[in-house]
Amino acid sequence: MPPRPAAADRHAAGAAGEAIARKHLEAAGLRWLVSNARFRHGEIDLVMRERDAVVFVEVRYRRGDGYGGSVASVDAGKQRKLVRAAQSFLAAHPALAAAPCRFDVIAIDGDASAPRVDWIRNAFEAG
């Protein structure tokens, strides 16, 4: 297994992945609300709107599949953290609390200069 990149490199790669994901979603008609919404229980990478729905987006970027690939990294524990963070987000934004919500995953694999972007709508349920 290759050595793990330094934290600064991981942060830069994560920011680049989120920018790719946001551009991809906006091109599909979603409207950006906020990035990196941090709460005690976790962080939501992107919060978007698609018509009346609030879309909580987890962005996963992997240069290779040495750690199981992007989609495999959104396991049950990560899903629980995302649901709790989304609940905190909605509590902080009561005007959005009555809107339908969903959890999407944007999986970005490969080199940042030519990434493969997979958008998984309704990747998991909150319940």
pLDDT one-digit tens code per residue, 78-109: 999 999 999 999 999 999 999 999 999 999 88
Query: In this predicted structure, which of 29-38, 51-60, 70-79 has the lowest mean pLDDT?
Result: 70-79
Nearest CA among 42, 37, 122 for reference residue 77: 42
Q: Which CATH class is domain 7-124?
A: alpha beta
Q: CA neighbours within 13 Å on the CB side: how many for 110?
A: 7
The pLDDT of residue 68 is above 70:
no
